[in-house]
Amino acid sequence: MHTPTLIIGGGLSGLSLAYALERAGHAYTLVEARGRLGGRIKSLRVEAALFDLGPSWVWPGQTRVAALAGELDLQLFEQWSNGAQLFEQASGEVVQDMGFMSMAGSLRIAGGTSVLTDALAARLNPAHILLDCAVSAIDDSPAAQLTDGETITADRIVLCIPPRLAAELRFTPALQDGAMAALRAIPTWMGAHAKFVAVYPTPFWRKDGLSGDASSRRGPLAEIHDASPADGSLGALFGFVGLPADIRAQAGDAVQAASLAQLENLFGAQAGAPIAATLIDWSQDPFTATAADATPPPGHPPYTMPAPLRCIWDDKLIFAVTEMAPDNGGLIEGALAAAEAAARKIIG
């Protein structure tokens, strides 16, 4: 099989690049190792609502995501932040409005972030998309060898997967040491994260004058926010699990049980009885994170395109992923920026 452009990875960057090529009339094939599209954008469906298990927020001034949302007829709404914030002491005592900053001013995509990737996928020719299709090796002809033994040749290959996963592929000829070191040094955004989401019939905490924002020195959830739909048709709380990845892996279901107990301690008995709840640990997803990602970076990494990776094999191999974006690296906007830069190389 031959294709002008082979896109490896069906997350937001890969889908956005495919969308740009589709509109330009440029032929491509997109392969995705998972059995679904979206990558780190994934949702829990409860009734007709979707709840983010991956990234949730965009921000005012991020022009690409605002323009794409408008083009796809999607709406942005402001993160709910009205009401008191809670703080859980190490003892379990809960106090209000102490030592915590809410996400006031951030924006969310109505319907959940998955509607963005779903809308992009719906505008692509399904004949150009292959799921459950993992790549093991790439050569400079260029060609990609799949784990099932098949080979796809192309005029160019675009890697839209986290850099550390890219470093696990076999390259022929081998990339220079500086290029491989650069790939391995880039932390996977969300790679160390685990997220717990609990869904309720209503956002009941709002009637109690609470914002849904909380932080804790007790855990297991270190930071909690309101994740309810824009119309308030259901209520939802989500929290980032503060336990290290190795402890989460050992604890298993106990983390989810402890998270529910913590929500009940913070928000009352109703919080302990959701109509749905789930815990997703991105550090355990082999198509997201590597062992090196188990320890999170100390802050938001200064993501950019490393010099050794800017032109590989005369641009027959291109990297396009949020961790290598020209701006807003690690964010939804950064994924779109990376795809935009790759599309500019391919179609001008």
Q: Which amino acid is at 58?
A: V
pLDDT of residue 118: 98
- Kindly state the helix (H) or strand (E) to which residue 143 belongs, with its residue range: strand 143-146
pTM: 0.96
Q: List the domains of the chain with CATH numbers.
A: 1-41+113-188+301-348 (3.50.50.60), 45-62+76-112+192-287 (3.90.660.10)
pLDDT of residue 99: 61
pLDDT of residue 215: 95
CA distance 198 to 236: 6
CA distance 312 to 337: 19
Burial (CB count within 10 angstroms: exposed 0-12, middle 13-18, buried 19+), residue 335: buried
Torsion angles phi and psi, residue 56, rounded to 5: -120, -35
DSSP 343: H
Q: Which amino acid is at 150?
A: E
Tally of CA atoms within 13 A in the half-sphere of 336 that contains its CB: 16
CA distances from 112 to 19, 57, 141, 228 (A): 20, 10, 40, 10
CA distance 87 to 14: 39
287, 8 Cβ separation under 8 angstroms: no
Which residues of the chain are under the pLDDT cut of 50? none
